[in-house]
Amino acid sequence: MTHSAIASKRIAIIGAGPGGLTLALLLQRHGFNPVVYEREVQDTNRDRGGSLDIHEESGQLALKEAGLFEKFQELARYEGEDFRLFDKHKNVYMDEEAVEDDHGTRPEIDRGDLCQLLLDSLDKGCIRYGHKLQQAIALDHGMTELHFENGVVDTVDLLVGADGAFSRVRPLLSDLQPEYSGLTMVELNVLDVKNNHPDLLELNSRGKMFALGDRKGILGQLNGDGRIKVYASFEVEREWLDTCGIDFDQPTEAKNKLLELFSDWDDDLKNYIRYADGAIQPRRIYMLPVGYRWKHNPGVTLIGDSAHVMSPFAGVGVNLAMLDAYTLALAIARHQDSGSAIEEYEREMYRYSSDMAQESYDNLVLCFSDDAAAKMATLMKQLHDQTQHDV
Ligand SMILES: Cc1cc2nc3c(=O)[nH]c(=O)nc-3n(C[C@H](O)[C@H](O)[C@H](O)COP(=O)(O)OP(=O)(O)OC[C@H]3O[C@@H](n4cnc5c(N)ncnc54)[C@H](O)[C@@H]3O)c2cc1C
C-alpha cells in the first residue's frame, strides 16, 4: 500500500492498449485507483497486430513486477525466436533456430493473449470502454479537464496519455505530430498454415521470416493461433495508398495486384500473398523524431507510442510501452508529488527510448536499401559477436 500524497488524487489513463493496461495494473498493485478511458466499446487488442517478442530487460520486467511472469511463461512460445532471412530470389542469408528447452530471452506471445493476461488481473471496474477522448484542456490550478465524444466530462489531477501514435493528450505538451516514415505495410493473414499450407510453414519456420529486396519486403510471422501474419512492405511516398490503384476492400483483386508488384520474386515467397485469407489491412507507418521531448508538465505525461512511436524495425514498441508503464508506476509509488515522479520517469524514458528510436530508424533505412538482405545479415552477425564478447 502506498503512503504517497498522489494516492488521494484522481489519475486517468487514456488508452487500454498494452501500455495503458500495464500501467493501470502496476498502479493498482501499489494501492492506487486509476481510471482507464478507451475509445473502443470492448477490448480489441486481439484484432490489432500479431505476435510480439517480449524482452527480458523491458516487457518481462513489467510482467514480473505485476506478478504475471509465471503465467506469461505458460503462454509464451520460445520456439518463436526462429528467424530466417532471404533475398528476393530466396537465397538464404540467415537461418537461426531457437534451441528446444533453451529458454531464450525474447519469447513470443500473441498481442491478444498478452492483453488478456493483463485484463484478467485488473480490477475490471477501472476501464471505461466507449470513451473516445476528444480534447484535454489544462485548467488554471494544474488539473486537466477531459472531454469525451460521448459527452462525458471528467476532471483529473494526473493524466497519462497511452493513446498511441495520434494521441489526444500530446497537444497539452507539444505541437509536434508524428511524420510518415516512408514505409507502407500491407497486412495479410494466412490461416491455419499447418493444415492448409504446410509448404509455407516449412519455408517460414516457427518464428519470423524476412525477404528483402528492391526496397520492398515480404515479412512473415507465425502466430500462436496457427496463422502466419504477413506484411508486404513498400518504401513509397505517403500518397501511394491513394494512387496505387489497388482496392484493398476487394481482397482477391488486391492480392493479384500485389503479386504483380513482386512479379520477379521467387515463386515460393509469393505464396505468402497468394495463400492469404480474408481481409487485407494497409497501414502507413508513422514516427516521432528520434530524441523527441516535450515541455515538462507536473500533471500530464505520455507512455508508449504516444511518447515515442517508431517504425517496427527495432521490434520494441510493445516492450517500450510496458517499460514506460513500469518506470512511471514505480516513480509514482516512490514520490510524494506527481511532478517529481513524472520528472524522474521522463528523464529515464528519454534516455532508453531515444536509443531505440535511433536503432529502429537505422534498421528501417537498412531494410529498404540496396542489397538489404546481405547488409542485414552482416549487422546481425556484428550484434551477435558483440553480445558474445560482452558475455
Ligand atoms: C505493423 C506493426 C507491427 C508491429 N510489430 C511489433 C513487434 O513485433 N514488436 C513490438 O514490440 N511492437 C510492434 N509494433 C509496435 C506496437 O504495436 C506498438 O508500439 C504498441 O502497440 C504500443 O502500445 P501502446 O499501448 O502505447 O499503444 P496502442 O497499442 O496503440 O494502444 C493505444 C490505445 O489507445 C486507444 N485510443 C486511441 N485514441 C484514443 C482516444 N482518443 N481516446 C481513448 N482511447 C484512445 C486505442 O484504441 C488503443 O486501445 C508493431 C506495430 C505495427 C504497426
At 34, which CATH number? 3.50.50.60
Say what the pLDDT of residue 382 is.
Answer: 86
Domain membership flag for residue 92: no
DSSP conformation letters of 93-127: EEEE-PPTT---S--EEEHHHHHHHHHHHS-GGGE
Enter the C-alpha cell of residue 363: 534498421
Asked if residue 271 and residue 200 are part of one domain, the reply reads: yes
Atom of ligand 1 nearest to the CA of 37: 43
Whether residues 299 and 361 fall in one domain: yes
User: Which ligand 1 atom sits nearest the alpha carbon of residue 16?
Assistant: 49
Between the CA of 305 and the centroid of ligand 1 the distance, in Å, is 6
Judge if 294 and 256 occupy the same domain. no
Q: Which atom of ligand 1 lies nearest, measured to the CA of 317?
A: 19
Judgement on whether residues 23 and 131 belong to the same structural domain of the protein: yes
Q: What pLDDT is attached to residue 150?
A: 98
pLDDT computed for residue 188 by the predictor? 98
Q: Which protein residue's CA is at the shortest distance from atom 37 of ligand 1?
A: 163
Is 28 within a domain? yes
Can you tell me the distance from the alpha carbon of 22 to that of 126, in angstroms, rounded to the nearest whole number?
Answer: 13
Residues 199 and 172 both lie in one domain: no
The confidence score (pLDDT) of residue 93 equals 97
Residue 96 lies in a domain: no
Q: What's the domain range around 221?
A: 188-287
In this structure, the answer to whether residues 17 and 32 fall within a common structural domain is: yes
Q: Do residue 297 and residue 318 come from a single domain?
A: yes
Check whether residue 279 and residue 295 sit in a common domain: no
**Pocket of ligand 1 contains residue 305 by CB under 6 Å:** yes
Q: Is residue 382 part of a domain?
A: no
One domain for residues 123 and 42 = yes
Domain count, the chain: 2
> In terms of domains, do 33 and 154 share one?
yes
How far, in Å, CA of 250 to CA of 181, rounded?
A: 26
Ligand 1 pocket residue status of 87, Cβ below 6 Å: no
Mean pLDDT by 10-residue block, N- to C-terminus, for the chain (391 residues)?
72 98 97 97 85 94 97 91 95 88 78 96 94 97 96 98 98 97 97 98 96 97 95 98 98 98 98 98 97 96 98 93 98 95 98 96 95 94 74 45
Neighbours of 252 (CB within 10 A): 8
Which of 264, 287, 310 is a domain's end point? Answer: 287
